[in-house]
Amino acid sequence: MKLRTKIILTFSMIFIIAFATLSYNAHTTIESSLLSAGLSDELVASILSEVGISTLILSTIIGIGAILVVFWVSSRIALPLRKLDSQLKSQRVGRLLRNIEIERNSIDKDDEISEVVHTINLMINRLNKLELKKDEQHAIITHELKTPLAAMLGYTQVLQKPRMVGELNPKQEKVIEIINRNVSELKHMIIDLLESQKLDLEKMRFEYTHVDVTKLMEECESHYQNIMQEKQIQFVNSTKEKISVTTDRVRLLQVFDHLILNAIDFVPNEGGKIEIVAQTKDDDIIFYVKDNGIGISSEKQKEIFKKFIELDTHIIRRHGGTGLGLSICKGIINALEGKIWVESEPDKGATFYFSIPKIRKKIEMVIKLI
């Protein structure tokens, strides 16, 4: 039961009980006084009837007034609490928390609710400071991890060049290849952590240039052909239109990298197929990466763009990864003023869509202001 309803019911019951008690006592007292005055029973009954009607009218007026007063008082209590609840629920997980702001008039600004809001804001500020310290430390650690990895990658690549360090036997070549592959995977994981951190702190940089989308799609197709051939996956670029847009080319490719590599992981070993498309629709450019993989249930689709979300634990063990790829895609597309979503059914593949506006909304707003 809501707080306001509880308050109104409580005070209404108190009023009814109090009024009934006082009315009964008053009725008894008046009746005794009239009878002691020697008045006839008919006259006493008539007087009591008139008194009762007057009392009923007066009590109704007082009752309505009391309910209005209780309603007003409860509003002063319940409304700020509802606003407080709404603002707390609207806080986004994974981002710095915002201070709670509830407008209070001069009468209520020093009441208990304002004190509660002030205390909550103190806690939010402390949590934000701790979160920033944690994020800064996290960024430093992940950045420092890249330094030894770069050296390891460099030396494994040197070892794979016979002219520089001499010939390796087949076993040695296989070991070096395994080391190189695992170091590369670890490097990508660290990059994902850094990119996710930049998005959380809103420090990711974007450089907007004129992008030939049609050419970009052709580059994507060419870049992944070798990987697709090795894994015997059919890779198709179905883009038909000539499209260009002003956006961040590198970030757009980054989103495609995550989505395509994700699709590679989940298509079947035999008969795997991945399709990429770019097309215009109204004021947007729609991209999609479609696969014939294991698909995603409707329940998981609601959570899939959140951090560290994977389809299942056995899939994590089989495919690895940080679980940050799709959340990074969402962060980049949001920053590019677009949207990202998925359509899928279990065992029927998945299609990841994302859109970006043909004209950036921020530029459009500036033009209108000019």
Residue 194's nearest CA partner among 120, 136, 247, 249 is: 136
Is the separation of the CB atoms in 168 and 176 below 8 Å?
Answer: yes
b/e per residue 123-146 (b: at least 16 CB within 10 A): ebeeeeeebeeebeeebeebeebe
- Report phi then psi at 167, rounded to 5: -70, 145
Sign of CA dihedral 86, 90, 95, 99: negative
Q: What is the value of pTM for the model shown?
A: 0.60
pLDDT, position 340: 95
Distances (CA, A) of 7 to 12, 75, 80, 267: 8, 10, 15, 59
Paired strand residues for 278: 287
> Mean pLDDT per segment of 10 residues, for the chain of length 370 residues?
63 72 71 68 71 71 73 70 75 70 62 78 85 74 75 81 78 85 81 78 85 94 90 93 93 93 89 94 93 89 75 46 81 93 92 91 44
Q: What pLDDT is stored for residue 95 in this prediction?
A: 62
Residues with Cβ < 8 Å from 295, sequence gap 6 or more? Answer: 344, 345, 346, 347, 348, 349, 350
> What does the domain layout of the chain look like in residue ranges?
3-86, 137-200, 209-367
- At residue 351, φ and ψ (nearest 5 deg) are -125, 115
Contact 269, 292 (CB under 8 A): no
Extract the runs of DSSP E, i.e. beta strands, from 160-312: 209-212, 234-237, 244-247, 273-281, 284-291
Taking the C-alpha atoms of residue 357 and residue 280, their distance in angstroms, rounded to an integer, is: 10
Q: Given this model, what pLDDT does residue 110 score?
A: 59
Report pLDDT for 366. Answer: 37
Query: What's the pLDDT score for residue 323?
Result: 72
For residue 101, the model assigns a pLDDT of: 76
Q: What is the pLDDT, as a whole number, of residue 368? A: 39
Geometric angle at alpha carbon 58, from 56 and 60, rounded to 5°: 65
Letter string b/e over residues 327-348, b meaning 16 or more CB atoms within 10 A of that residue's CB: bbbbbbbeebbbebebebeeee
pLDDT score recorded for residue 355: 95
Give the list of residues 6+ apart from residue 192 with CB closer than 8 angstroms, or none.
Answer: 322, 324, 325, 328
- In this structure, what token pair is assigned to residue 31? 């009746």
The answer to whether 278 and 239 are in contact (CB under 8 A) is yes
Alpha carbon distance 278, 245 (integer Å): 12
Query: Candidates 3.30.565.10, 3.40.640.10, 3.40.50.150, 3.40.50.970; correct CATH number of 209-367?
Result: 3.30.565.10
> Tokens representing 189?
């994981």
DSSP 3-state of 202? coil
